[in-house]
Chains A and B, each alone.
Chain A
């Protein structure tokens, strides 16, 4: 069951990108979500082809991934919300650089990949929640969206908040779980399921984007 969901979650990651191409928006970087869709597409290809098939070492990829992930998320929230208080976003950027730098340092020093993941994911979760709350606040202030079910941003925000909230404790405790007698895959299944939900919501969101 775990393997089945894992493969589905991996391969479904390419679909948002194909929907983007169908909508003629794959290079439309004015759309906040496009970099994240590209990232999801590349990650799906790398993890399915590189990891599963070619059995490549993924430790460098999983160290590099949080950097591009944060960049894509930062771009998404910054373009979507267009914040009045840009300083706060600047602070987040600086904090991430410090957090990421520390995660690389820890990885190099202790040759441990799980704890660095915990550090970066915790920060990303905080950032995503901050962005989501700002978006909801904007929603009530401007009342500019008449139908949320037809709004792409709603699906993206829902996907991100569901994914990062449900995997927060998994990444935070992954080191402990891995070193315990607990069956790791039971908990990793939360990540697989959350990834699947995120990617499905990305597909729906991209589908709801207007065509060129």
Chain B
């Protein structure tokens, strides 16, 4: 039969074209899969932002209620008890001693609640800024734990932007808490440097060495994940440098970074 070679060519080329068209249609589904993945990521990030913001608002509210409400009431009770105790002391009553102990217990309770309120939302963070708040936090840690923290920053008039302060404070709090819980840390070196529009925070400890990102992959808890989530809020990067003994974590972020609504 004539034109057999043309028939052959037409068949194979035609089949290849038809298959090509099919794979183009299937390629669309691959593009769809990518799009869905991106949408899901955006949705997850958005939910995370809302969740962190809600947590911050709640902490602020509870800290405020504790400080203004509960501590205030405890103060009033303590005053009444002190007055009663003084009266009973004048009458040489034995109950005066008991009331003095009640006063001491109330004072201790007030201190505890102040601590809880402070941990929930350090008032200095909004009033005096990150550096003052973190220095205060380190002092408290040194007082309550066998820990020595060396805190340096450069330049002298360094200012951490307000919209970063809260999230950074929580990150440092979480990191130090992990060091104390798992790392058996005795010394921490905390350094902040601002240079050419970029902040670098270096946290070095002498504790048990660990791999941050490996622990993040294997951990079922929320602590490390919340660190990464908070850092994402202001586009910060966390890297780990290998050192001879202990651990060194470095957080870097740029000055002109944006965080969604950190003050409300």
Interface residues of chain A, those whose CB is within 8 Å of chain B, are 129, 132-133, 136, 139-140, 143, 145-149, 154, 158, 161-162, 165-166, 168-170, 173, 176-177, 179-182, 187, 190
Across the interface, do A161 and B4 meet the contact criterion of CB distance under 8 Å?
A: no
Interface set, chain B 12-34, CB cutoff 8 A to A: 14-15, 18-19, 21-22, 25-26, 28-29, 32-33
Structural contact, A148 and B29, CB atoms closer than 8 A: yes
5 A–B contacts, CB within 8 A, in A order:
A140-B35, A165-B21, A168-B14, A173-B11, A182-B8
Residues on B facing A (Cβ under 8 Å): 1, 4, 7-8, 10-11, 14-15, 18-19, 21-22, 25-26, 28-29, 32-33, 35-36, 39-40
Given contacts A162-B19, A165-B18, contact A182 B26 (CB under 8 A): no
Which residue of B is nearest A163, CB measured? B22
Contacts A136-B28, A136-B29 hold; do A166 and B1 have CB atoms under 8 A apart?
no
4 A-B pairs closest in CB distance: A165-B18, A165-B22, A180-B1, A169-B14
For the residues of B in contact with A, the DSSP-based class is helix
- Interface pair B11/A177, CB less than 8 Å apart: yes
User: In this complex, what residue of A is CB-closest to B18?
Assistant: A165
Contact in complex: A166, B19 (CB < 8 Å): yes
Which of A161, A180, A190 is B22 in contact with, Cβ under 8 Å? A161
Residues of A within 8 A of B8 (CB): 182
Contact B7 A176 (CB under 8 A): yes
* Chain A: CB-nearest residue to B14: A169
Known contacts A143-B39, A173-B10; is A133 also within 8 Å of B19 by CB? no
Bound CA span A147–B35, Å:
11
A148 to B36, CA, bound (A): 10
Contact status of A143 and B26, CB under 8 A, knowing A166-B19, A177-B7, A180-B4: no
**Contacts A146-B36, A165-B21; A139 near B29 (Cβ below 8 A):** yes
Q: Are A136 and B18 in contact (CB under 8 A)?
A: no
Q: Please name the residue on chain A nearest to B5 by beta carbon.
A: A182
* B-side contacts of A143, CB under 8 Å: 32, 35-36, 39
**Given A162-B22, A169-B15, A187-B11, are A181 and B1 also a contact pair (CB < 8 Å)?**
yes
Chain A residues near B21 (CB, 8 Å)? 165
Name the distance in Å between A134's Cβ and chain B's nearest Cβ.
11
- CB contacts (< 8 Å) of A146 on chain B: these are 36, 40
CA distance A148 to B25 in the complex (A): 14
Residues of B within 8 A of A166 (CB): 15, 18-19, 22
Provide the residues of chain A in CB contact with B35, threshold 8 Å: 140, 143
Known: A169-B14, A180-B7. A161 touches B1 (CB 8 A): no
Residues of B within 8 A of A147 (CB): 33, 36
Q: Are B18 and A168 in contact (CB under 8 A)?
A: yes
Cβ-closest chain A residue relative to B26? A158
Interface-central residue, B18, B35, B40, by most chain A CB under 10 Å: B18
Closest to B30 in A: A148
Closest to A180 in B: B1
B22 CB contacts on chain A under 8 angstroms: 161-162, 165-166
| Closest chain A residue, CB of each to CB of B21 | A165
Q: Is the CB of B29 within 8 A of A169?
A: no
Contacts A143-B36, A148-B32: A173 and B1 contacting too (C-beta < 8 A)?
no
A146 to B40, CA, bound (A): 9
Q: In the complex the two chains form, is A182's CB within 8 Å of B19's CB? A: no
B-chain residues with CB within 8 Å of residue A140 when the two chains form the complex: 28, 32, 35
Q: Which residues of A contact B39 (CB under 8 A)?
A: 143
A210 to chain B, nearest CB (A): 19
A179 neighbours in B (Cβ, 8 Å): 1
Query: A190, B15: Cβ atoms under 8 Å?
Result: yes
CB distance from B41 to the nearest CB of A (A): 12
A115 to B11, CA, bound (A): 16
In whole angstroms, how far apart are the Cα atoms of A97 and B88 in the complex? 107
**How far apart are the CA atoms of A133 and B22 in the complex, in Å?**
10
Q: How far is the CA of A104 from the CA of B36 in the complex (A)?
A: 46
Chain A neighbourhood of B14, CB < 8 A = 168-169
The answer to whether B7 touches A182, judged by C-beta atoms less than 8 angstroms apart, is yes
Contacts of A169 in B (CB 8 A): 10-11, 14-15, 18
